[in-house]
Each structure stands twice: as C-alpha cells, then as structure tokens.
A and B are shown apart, each in its own frame.
Chain A
C-alpha cells in the first residue's frame, strides 16, 4: 500500500538529488536540469498532499509551477545560447569574471 509518506519521501529524495546537482554540476545545461528536478520534486509533494486532503487546489498549483518552470528555463536557455555563441563554452567557470 502506497501512502502519503511514500510520496513525500520520494519528493524529498528528488529534492536532494536536485540540490546536489545545483551545487556540484559545472555544466550550465545540467544546472537547469537540476532546477527542473527541484521544482518537480515540489510538484510531487503538492499533488500527493492534494490527494490526501481531497482538495484539488494542490494539483492546480502543480500545473502553475510547471508553467513557471518552463518560462524560467526559456529565459535560461536563451542566455545559454547567447553565451555559447560568444565564448563557445557552456561551462560554469567560464562565466566567473566578476568576483563578489
């Protein structure tokens, strides 16, 4: 029997994978993948809680979050193409000219 806890654990695991990805990956494309994983981890949580309470609003939010994630990546990929045309690299280290 799969309960709410299982879904929330899945959501937690996905979130950790995404978080490690954002911290460790050096490729800019992979960075966006990791952000997507993070957002979808939250989506799983929202959908599961929504089913648990019998309240549809959680599932509705998941759709909104997907839309937001898509628009974020659209901007990100645009920048990535721009940067690749300029420097021929999608590496994170190539983008560190200014130092805090």
Chain B
C-alpha cells in the first residue's frame, strides 16, 4: 500500500504549525502561560505520536524522500531521523513540563516563549532530517536564532542579555564557517546533497581531495563549536550560566543531540573514506576537552556552572565514540546515540530539578546553599543524587551503560589511550558530582525553608525521569521479559543501518 507522502512529514508539520499558531495565539490577552503550555504540549504530543506511528508502521529500516519532486531530495525520512526526532520532541515536552513552575513564577515569560521553543524543536528536527548542506544550515539557524531569543527572554536581567549577545555573535560566526565549508564542497563536487557528495567522494577517491577535506574541516569547526568541544568551549559556560535554568536544560540536552544527529549522518555517509585525515586532530581535541572540562568543573563554586562545565566533559566522551567509528562503525555510532539518550535524561533531570528548586525568589546557587538539603527535602535530594550518580557513570544507572559502550568501543577500535583518558576523567568527575551528594547528606543547616514543596506536575515528571535512569541501568537483569535498554541500542543499530539504504 502506498502511504501518502505527508504522513512522513507529519511530525515536522505538527511542530511547525504549532509554533506559528502559538505565535498568533500569543496576541490574545486571555491566553495565559498555562494555556500556552498546554497548547504547545498538545502539538508536541501529536508530533511524537505521529513519529512513533511512522517508526512502527514503516518497518524496521526505511528511508524515503517525501515529495521528492518538490523538495528535490533535500529532506529524508529514515529510521535514523525518526529516532532522533523522538528524542528531540521528548526534550521539548519534558522542558515545558519541568519548567512550567519556573515560567509561572517569573513575570517576564509569555506565550511567545513556547512558540520559540517549538520553532527551536522544529529547527532541530529539520536538522536531523536534512539531506543537504544548505537545508542543514537553515535548520541550524532556525534552531539557533530561537535559542538566542529564548536565552535573552527575561530582559530585565543583564546576565541574560549578555549571554544572548555572546551566543549570537559567536554562533553566527561559527555558522559562517559552516557556509564557507559547504561552498568549498559545492565548488569541488558541484552538489550539496549529502548522498551525492558521498558518491562523488567514492568515485574520485584517487584524485585530489584537498578542497573537500578543507570544506569538511570548516564544517567540523562549526560542529565542534556548537557542541562546545575544546578550542571553542569558552562561550559555553557564560552562555549556559546566563540563560535561565529551563533554557539551559533544553540547550544542554537537546541541541547537542540534534547537532550530533546531523554531523554523524554527514560523516558516515560523505566522509567515510577520507575520515582518517581528521583522526589525529580529534585525539588531541578529545584529550584537551576532557582535561580542560574537568579542570573547569572542579574550580566552579556554582552548581549550575559545574553542571555546564561537566557537559563539556560529556562532549569529550561522545567524541571518543566519534573517533571509534572508523573501525567499528555500527557499534560506535549506536553507542553515541545511546549515550546521547543517557546524557539527555540525566542532564534534563538535574537542570530541571535545580530549576524547580530555585523557581522561588531565593536562588540556590552554590554547593554551600545545598547544605543539609536531604534533611528538609529528602525526596528531592534522593532524585538529585540519582542524577549525579548517572552523570558520574555509577553502575545501576543508565549513565554507566552509556559510558560502558563508549569505553569498550574505544578499546575495541584500538584507541586505548582515549579510553584511559576517558576513564580518568570519569574518576575526576566523581569528585565534583559526589561533592553535592556529600553536602546534601552529611551536613546540617537549619535555616532553609524557602524550597517549594513537592507539588504540581514538575516534580512528578522529574521523578519519572529518575526512575527511567535507574530502570535503564538495571531493568534488564531484574525483571525478565520486560523491555530494557536493549531496545534503545537495537533501535540505534537499525537507525545506523537506515543511513546506507538508497
């Protein structure tokens, strides 16, 4: 049976139309934050349902070019893109649910904020669906520009504007490098379609590839900037620290997944044969990213800045698997996808819970502010501990499984040094993650009463995330016949395969 083309694009359609409708709705006075949040949740839920419907009905592996005569094969819908879209839409939904309490407390947030959030999710989804460099650039800019505004949304706070400004200037500079790289590749191959570049590379592998390599390097610079890897990491702490906490959670968890989603497609399909050229460069980038990120995380006093610095370290772990792709393609690619899910859950939970705690006026910022937190709010402290354990990669959490796949992959592919550096960084990370747990449980501090009690939807969602993290770590062995994390990694392998069917 022939499925109509629009079915493939329904997830994108719902998010895009939802964003535009919310922008119109925000002009009405009687639409308050709560109604706006519910409307955006409805659109995102429709999108995720249609996306999962696609994943279920189109078979294990599929790859189609919807409306190929109109879009000229610029958008591809395959298992890979649908898998990533599910993560991204879920990121949007969880951000709204977790942040709702925070948004309601702050006067500055209006319904437009949700419209921008939907536009941002739309851009990220388009990015993982993009089969063409300029489409990818436009998608990246849709996502980024919405993020610039979301960061600076609370315009009464100077820090927000500064963060927004820094991200805008540096982000557009990084975007220009992406364009320069694509113009080099266009000049060398005469096409910007990802599949056709791959064919060109494999047909002309014996001739001079320098222009394509130069263009690829430019594109990788943008990639390294957007995920905050070593030479381009300085913006990350300021921008993430300046943004309001739900936005930080959204950026750290979702945007990184989207950028990885596109760059994995580009590297696996196009640069498969010339990837060796960058391997040495990446080894140094990884070592410096891990070392510098760990150093930054140790010296931070503010909890938010510590989490942001540690997100640089997690970028380093992801890049370890990125290098291993050359030898063990399928396993490494699926371990990246799995680790993205694991980090996504842990980071969203940690940032979300801190956002919830600090949504009242008095902000809880440094480690010391969390002194004796477990005596006042034992459940919140327990959840925060689960997130810290998962971020540190302690067994029985999903973070451990993610790190396990990455490090075994690195050893299998012969990058023992990277595995050793990564494991050392994990040891170091135990220091700054466990410091919080120790502060919460082993100290007493009487004068803390301004924490919002557990009520509303946000703590419930955070608790579900915490349970998912634990289930992801032990679910498989504990309960027989119960779907565990295996299905995540199996899906990741299928989506890897779907990149290569024509």
Contacts and interface: CB of A to CB of B under 8 A. Distances in A.
A92 to B, nearest CB: 9
B453 interface: no
Given A79-B164, A100-B234, A72 B172 contact: yes
Given A61-B134, A68-B141, A72-B145, A45 B187 contact: yes
Interface string B165-182: 110110011011001100
A31 to B, nearest CB: 6
Interface string A38-77: 1101100110010001010110010011001001100110
Contact of B187 (A8, A39, A68, A71): A8
Interface string B133-155: 01001100100010011001001
A69 B332 CA distance: 36
Interface stretch (B82-90, B237-245, B422-430): B237-245
Nearest to A97: B162
B303 to A, nearest CB: 16
Contacts of B414: none
A73 B324 CA distance: 39
B158 A86 contact: yes
Contacts of B134: 61, 64-65
A58 B186 contact: yes
A89 interface: no
A39 B141 CA distance: 13
Interface centre among A49, A53, A61 (most CB of B within 10 A): A61
Contact of B180 (A28, A42, A61, A98): A42
B168 A72 contact: yes
Contacts of A71: 141, 145
A35 B186 contact: no
A53 B148 CA distance: 37
Given A46-B186, A72-B145, A79-B165, 15 more contacts: A8-B187, A22-B173, A38-B173, A45-B183, A49-B183, A65-B137, A72-B172, A72-B175, A75-B168, A95-B162, A95-B166, A97-B158, A98-B159, A98-B163, A98-B238
Contacts of B172: 35, 72, 76
Contacts of B176: 18, 35, 38-39, 42
Contact of A82 (B141, B159, B161, B180): B161
Q: How large is the interface on A (under 10, 10 to 19, 20 to 34, 35 or more residues)?
A: 35 or more
Contacts of A57: 192
B179 A39 contact: yes
B483 interface: no
A58 to B, nearest CB: 6
A72 B262 CA distance: 22
B446 to A, nearest CB: 32
Given A75-B145, A95-B165, A68 B138 contact: yes
B190 interface: yes
A11 to B, nearest CB: 8
B137 A86 contact: no
Nearest to B296: A100
A58 B190 CA distance: 9
A49 B169 contact: no
Greatest chain B CB density within 10 A among A28, A38, A46, A79 is at: A79
Interface string A4-22: 0000100100010010001
Contact of B138 (A42, A45, A64): A64
Contact of A79 (B141, B152, B159, B234): B152
Interface string B46-90: 000000000000000000000000000000000000000000000
Interface in B179-205: 179-180, 183, 186-187, 190-192
Contact of A100 (B138, B161, B237): B237
A49 B186 contact: yes
